[in-house]
Amino acid sequence: MKYIQYISAKEAADKWGISQRRVASLCSDGRINFAQRVGNMWIIPADAEKPEDGRHSRYQGENLGVTKTQSERIASEAMITESIKPFLKWAGGKGQLLSTIQEYYPFKENNITRYAEPFVGGGAVLFDILNHYDLEEVYISDINAELINAYKAIRDDVEGLISLLQVMEDEYIPLKNEERKVYFYEKRERFNELKAKESDELDLEKAALMIFLNKTCFNGLYRVNKKGQFNVPMGGYKRPTICDAKNLKAVSERLQGVTIVHGDYKQSESFVNASTFVYFDPPYRPITESASFTAYTEYDFNDKEQKELANFVNAISKKGAKIVLSNSDPKNIDEEDNFFDDIYAAHTIRRIEAARMINSNGNKRGKIKELLISNF
């Protein structure tokens, strides 16, 4: 009997000179014979050959006159490069600022091979980076336990999650409005029940409910009350896509090998080194009382926390990491308010126009300015 000796995905990645994420994606695509999944890790036969890289050859098929089987293989590889997008709508989502944030990506120069996003939220920047770069290591965290549970469910059991979401979609869509309300509030109650357990064990049902509620609630908003209960009412979407299986599968593939942490942003300190790009998108400092939205969790993020974050940024900046941080600009309302100019005095502050308009009764109407602060 022949015994197979295995090595880890990290060892295979080092041996073949590719990223761990690429190894995971080759394994889940069945490109490495006898590779096995153990928990959320892949193990690879020690004598496995590095598969040929066909990722960028998908448009060449006809020109090269390749055989049908090769074309088919190329088409299936094209699935690996499917673009991914956020699977939740999230307050403060960075979709609209992406093109400006992209100007800061330092991956091409400077030996930056790692990425950390300690306030990941809906992950618009994370997904953009995963779409465009094949990095060695990626770290994400958020203090919102339910959000992190959803990321882990997608990474570790996307098929199970899709089955649960498909059932909810099939049940919800045909219902009349009054029946939908009953269904929605039942699911919301069940979600809050599971949330109250405060367990960090992977919970597929809770992840599916989180996505269902996000897709069907008012404005697709996630907000909790002081007791930590999700309290957004039902929304009026006629045919929401509750189960976007294609995107979820593609996201799952890209999340293989990504470190996903439930906790405070400060835990990222040990991950960060001179080869790391860190993007911080903390809860924004409210520029007006009415504009205040910091209810991602039952914990506050006030001026004291903003200053602590600035100290943290200064500390990891000394490690040589490349850092970008977003926040609101208090000068939209009060020219004299130098809060961020003071606490980030050591860094470069750029004021950029966001797509949103100022909606207070303030004297200055027009496009709102936001801050992008960088240490380079």
Ligand X SMILES: C[S@@+](CC[C@H](N)C(=O)[O-])C[C@H]1O[C@@H](n2cnc3c(N)ncnc32)[C@H](O)[C@@H]1O
Task: List residues binding ligand X (CB under 6 A).
Answer: 90, 92-94, 118-119, 121-125, 141-144, 264-265, 281-283, 296-297, 301
Closest separation in Å from C-beta 249 to ligand X: 21
Looking at the Cβ atoms of 119 and 172, the one nearer to ligand X is: 119
Closest separation in Å from C-beta 220 to ligand X: 12
Looking at the Cβ atoms of 181 and 351, the one nearer to ligand X is: 351
3 state DSSP class of 303: helix
Half-sphere CA count of 3, side-chain side, radius 13 A: 2
Looking at the Cβ atoms of 265 and 271, the one nearer to ligand X is: 265
Closest separation in Å from C-beta 57 to ligand X: 33
Half-sphere CA count of 339, side-chain side, radius 13 A: 20
Looking at the Cβ atoms of 32 and 325, the one nearer to ligand X is: 325
CB 92 within 8 A of CB 284: yes
Here the tokens at position 375 are 């240490």
Identity of the amino acid at 372: L
**263-264-266 Cα angle (round to 5):** 130
3 state DSSP class of 280: strand
In eight-state DSSP terms, residue 298 is S
Closest separation in Å from C-beta 305 to ligand X: 7
Looking at the Cβ atoms of 61 and 283, the one nearer to ligand X is: 283
Q: Distance between CA 326 and CA 309 in Å, rounded? A: 12
Write out the E strands in the chain: 6-8, 36-38, 41-45, 114-117, 137-142, 259-262, 276-280, 322-328, 348-357, 367-374
Number of H helices, E strands in the chain: 13, 10
Looking at the Cβ atoms of 20 and 141, the one nearer to ligand X is: 141
CB 153 within 8 A of CB 147: no
Task: List alpha helices for 48-176, DSSP H.
Answer: 61-64, 68-80, 98-102, 124-132, 145-156, 158-172
